[in-house]
Each structure stands twice: as structure tokens, then as C-alpha cells.
Structure 1
Amino acid sequence: MGFLIETVIAGLMNGVLYALVALGFVLIFKASGVFNFAQGAMVLFAALAMARFAEWLPEWLGFESLLLANILAFAIAAFLMFVFAWAVERFVLRHLVNQEGVTLLMATLGITFFIDGFGQTIFGSDIYAINLGLPDEPIFILEGLFAGGLLINSDDLVTALMAMAMVALLTLFFQKTGTGRALRAVADDHQAAQSVGIPLGRMWVIVWFMAGLTALVAGMIWGEKMGVQFALTFVALKALPVIILGGLTSVPGAIVAGLIIGVSEQLAEVYIGPLVGGGIQIWFAYVLAMVVLLFRPQGLFGEKIIDRV
């Protein structure tokens, strides 16, 4: 029983990270109707900026504080994601208002390859470390209920809490603020939003910047775990089953689906993996998403599309 609970906890921690990446997709789609294929490349670019500036700044400014280096590097990386958001609106989205969805999708594909190459040109293409100074001692809880207690990795716990805080802030912003409501109006109808005075370009910059911040936090966490490398681009692929399961237009759906995917794939890897030779964690989430599509194409929390004729 204790091992089962440990497996579920590990799955929940992974699920929070999946939900964080999925939120980047959901936020942009809700505000601009664009399926942002570039979200994975944004994770890589932001993580590269964070890792390299954390390495460069102590050399340039002559200090040794790891905390200060990480704070400054995070601030610079966040500013770069704002510049990126402004450039996407100014040079891409502004010229594609009310275009077909496939046109916007192809535009994000172009953005993907551009920032992949540009990021590695500026920051390099080696594997870089992000050291957040997290504790690595294991934590044992509920020792009175289970023999030896339940084992939790302290660094996984801290990173999961960071991701949860980011998810909570984004959810509150989107659901409770006037800007969040304006973003939802923009998603429903670009021309109608403009007709009531909502500045379309500004809204797009805001939402792409928010997606950039989620990419930065996700890249920082995953980079600390596995190093900053080209494979981070594929972290976004882990979010695809999440947005399919939760619904492409639902912020709460991304959170719940991330937790479901994280726990289910962890349980499948531990209990079913040995029976089929392992590797089930790679594809299990996609199979689960396909099953959901058969019965509920809009996802568990997505909005049902009704066409009237």
C-alpha cells in the first residue's frame, strides 16, 4: 500500500509539470484561436537563456551568489520572452487576423524552427545545467502509518510546489481579472472584441508573454532535472495528451488532465510495464487520450461546438 501511494505521489508531481506546459497551449488558444506548435521551442529557448545567463552573470559582474545569479537570469529570460511575445504579435499575428486555423498553425511551425535555431546560435547547443540549489535529501512522511514511511524526493516536491504556484496564479489571472475576461472575449470573436474597444494586439502580447512565462518556469524545472538540451523541445509533446484529455479551451481541464495523465502513466509504468517489457510511459498517455477522443472529442472539460444550420 505504501509503494502504491508513493507511485501516486510521484505521478501527481509529474502531472503538475505536464499541466504547466499544457497551460501554455490553452492560454494562447483561448486568446487567439492559435494552436501554438512553438510552445516546446519556447520551453527550450527560455531554459537556454536561464542556464546561460546564470553562468555568464557571475563572471561578468564578479559575484558568487547562486541565488542572485538565478534571480537575475530569470528576470533576463522573462524579459526576452516578453520581447519574443511582442515580436510574434508585431511581425506574425498582426498580419494574420481572421485567417484560417491552418494558416496560423503553419505560422507557429515557422516560429518553432526559427527560435530553435536562433536560441542555439546565441546560447550554444551543448547540454547546460540549471542549478537552483534545491535540497536533494529524501523526505520520509507518515512513518507512523507505514513501515519506514513514504519516500518523497525533496527536489521533486519543491519543483512541484513551484509549478503549482504558477498554475494557481495563471488560473486566478484568467478567471478573476478584467484582462483575463478581455482575453476570453478576444478568443470568442476578434472583430467583436475590437468593436467594443479591446486592443487586440495588446491582448495577444499579454497572452503570449504569459505562455512564455509558463515555458520559462517549465524549462527551468525540467532543465534542473535533466539538463538543458534539445530534447526539452519534446517536453511539449507530453502536454498534447493533457490538452486532448482536458480540452483545448479549459484552464481547469489542463490542470485536472495533467494530474490524471501523470498518475495514470506512472501507475502503468510500474504495474503494467514489467508485463510488456517496459517503455509504457512513453506511449500510455497518447493511448488514453485516443480513448477519450472516441467518446468525447472536445475533452473532459472542453466546450462542445454546436453548428446551427
Structure 2
Amino acid sequence: MGFFLETLLGGLMTGMLYSLVALGFVLIFKASGVFNFAQGAMVLFAALAMARFAEWIPLKLGIDNKIIANVLAFIAAGVVMFIVAWLIENLVLRHLVNQEGATLLMATLGIAYFLDGLGQTIFGSDSYKIDIGMPKEPAIVLESLFQGGVMINKEDVIAAVIAAGLVALLTLFFQKTKTGRALRAVADDHQAAQSIGIPLSRIWVIVWCVAGVVALVAGMIWGSKLGVQFSLATVALRALPVVILGGLTSVPGAIIGGLIIGVGEKLSEVYLGPFVGGGIEIWFAYVLALVFLLFRPQGLFGEKIIDRV
């Protein structure tokens, strides 16, 4: 039982990080109808900015305190992501409003490759690390309940708490603020929102900026766990099944979908892996997403679209 609980907790924590990346997809799709394939590149770009600013700030400003340096690096990287998001919306997507979905898809793919190249040009193409002080060593808990206790990774726990905190802040933002309610109105009906005076262009800029901040937090956490390298952009591919499972238009769906995928990957690798030769953790999420596409394409919480003619 202790080992099962250990696997379950590991899956939940990994799933929370998947949810964080999936949130970027959902936020942009809800507000603008654009499936943003550049989200992975935004995560990588944000992680590169965070890692490099964390190196440059102590050297340029002579700051020895690591906490202060990391806070300043996070703020600087946040400003960079705001600028990137604003430029993407203003220079590219604003001019493609009401275009075909394939056109928007190709536009986000182009943005992704552009950000990859720009990241290498500005920040370099080496591998970097982000050290935000999260402990790497595991901890043993619940020793009184289970023989040998349950081993958990402290870094995963802190990362999951950060992700959950950001999700809670976004939920409050959408539910309690005037801008958040405007975002929900735009997500429900663009034309109706515009008819009551909600400026779509400003709302889309805000959504892309929020997605940029989400990408920064995700990049910071994944960069701390895995290091900042250009394969980090593929983390977004692991979030695609989460979006399909939870629904393209549902923020709660991104959270629940991420938890289901995370737990499913860990449990299937441990309990089914020996029977299928291992490696099931790599493809489990995609097979589950395929099943949902066949039988429930709108996902668990997504809206079913009915076209009447």
C-alpha cells in the first residue's frame, strides 16, 4: 500500500505540472479560438530568460543574495514575456482575425520556430540550469502508517504547490475581477462581448500576457527539474493529451486532465510496464487521448459544438 501511495503521489505532482503547461493552451483558445502550438516555445523562451537573467544580474549588479537575484530575474523574465506576448498578438494574430483555423495554426507554428531561433540568438544555445533553491533530496513520510514510510520528492511537492497556487490565483482572477469577467464573456461569444463595449484586442493582449506568465512559471519549474535545454519545448507535447482529455475550453478540465494523465502514466508504468515491455509511460497519454477523440472529442469538460443548418 505504501508503494502504491508513493506512485500515486508522484503521478499527482507530475500531473499538476502538466496542467500548468496545458493552462496556456486553454487560456488562449478560450479567448481567441487559436490553438497555440507556440506554447512549448514560450515555455522554453521563458526558461532561457529566467536562467540567463539569474546569471547576469549578480554579475552586473553585484548582488550576492541568491533569493534577491532570483526574484529580480523572475521579474525581468516576466517583463520579457509580457513584451513577447504583446508583440505576438499585435504583429501577427491581430491581422489574422476571422481567418481559417489552418491559417492560425500555421501562424503559431511559425511563431514557435521564430521563438526557438530568437532564444538561441539572445540567450545562447548551451544548456543552463535554474537554481531557485528547491531541495533535490527525497523525504520519507507516514512512517507510522506504512512499513518503511512513503518516499516523496521535496522538489516535486514544492513545484506542485506553486502550480496549484497559480491555478488558484487564475481562478480568482477569472471569477472576481472585472477583466476576468470580460475574458469569460469574450470566451462565450466574441460578437456579443464586442456589442456591449468589451474591446477584443485589449482582451486578447491580456490573455497572451497571462499565458506568457504561465509559460514563465512552467519554464522555471521544469527548468529547475530538468535543466534548460532546447528539448524543454517538447514538454508542451506532453500537455496536448491533457488538453484533449480535459477539453479545449475548460480551465478546470486542464487541471483534472493533468492529474489523470500524471497518475495514469505512473501507475501504468509500474503495474502494466512489466507485461508490455516497459516504456508505457511515454505513449500512455497519447493512447488515452486517441480514445477520447474517438468517443468524446470535446473532452471531459469541453463544450459540445453543434452546427445547425
**TM-score normalized by structure 1?**
0.97
Q: Deviations over 1:161-220 (max 9, x none)?
A: 111111111122223332122112223443432222111111111100111111111110
Larger displacement relative to structure 2 (141-150 or 188-197): 188-197
Residue of structure 2 in register with 1:49 after alignment: 49
Residue of structure 2 in register with 1:107 after alignment: 107
Larger displacement relative to structure 2 (73-82 or 166-175): 166-175
Residue of structure 2 in register with 1:19 after alignment: 19
How far apart are the structure 1 equivalents of 2:92 and 2:152?
45
How far apart are the structure 1 equivalents of 2:77 and 2:291?
38
Deviation at 1:156, TM superposition (A): 1.1
Deviation at 1:66, TM superposition (A): 1.1
Deviation at 1:76, TM superposition (A): 0.6
Q: Deviations over 1:143-164 (max 9, x none)?
A: 1110121111111111111111
How far apart are the structure 1 equivalents of 2:56 and 2:278?
41
- Residue identity matched to 1:91: L
Is 1:236 matched up with 2:241? Answer: no
The answer (yes or no) to whether the contact 1:81–1:212 under 8 Å persists in 2 is yes
Deviation at 1:3, TM superposition (A): 0.2
Deviation at 1:254, TM superposition (A): 0.5
How far apart are the structure 2 equivalents of 1:257 and 1:175?
21
Residue of structure 2 in register with 1:208 after alignment: 208
Deviation at 1:270, TM superposition (A): 1.1
How far apart are the structure 2 equivalents of 1:274 and 1:7?
15
- The unaligned stretches of length 5 or more in structure 2 are none
Residue of structure 2 in register with 1:224 after alignment: 224
Residue pairs, 1:109-148, within 5 angstroms? 109-148=109-148
How far apart are the structure 2 equivalents of 1:171 and 1:230?
31
- The unaligned stretches of length 5 or more in structure 1 are none
How far apart are the structure 1 equivalents of 2:253 and 2:8?
19
Residue pairs, 1:74-223, within 5 angstroms? 74-223=74-223
Larger displacement relative to structure 2 (115-124 or 83-92): 83-92
Residue pairs, 1:54-65, within 5 angstroms? 54-65=54-65
How far apart are the structure 2 equivalents of 1:72 and 1:280?
41
The answer (yes or no) to whether the contact 1:98–1:190 under 8 Å persists in 2 is no
- Residue identity matched to 1:150: V
Aligned residues with identical type, % of pairs: 73
Q: Deviations over 1:257-280 (max 9, x none)?
A: 100000001111111112222211
Instruction: Please give the root-mean-square deviation of Cα atoms over the aligned residues, in Å.
Output: 1.2
Larger displacement relative to structure 2 (50-59 or 174-183): 174-183
**TM-score normalized by structure 2?**
0.97
The answer (yes or no) to whether the contact 1:31–1:187 under 8 Å persists in 2 is yes
- Residue identity matched to 1:148: G
- Residue identity matched to 2:93: L
Q: Deviations over 1:73-103 (max 9, x none)?
A: 1001100111011111211122112222221
- Residue identity matched to 1:260: I
How far apart are the structure 2 equivalents of 1:104 and 1:137?
44
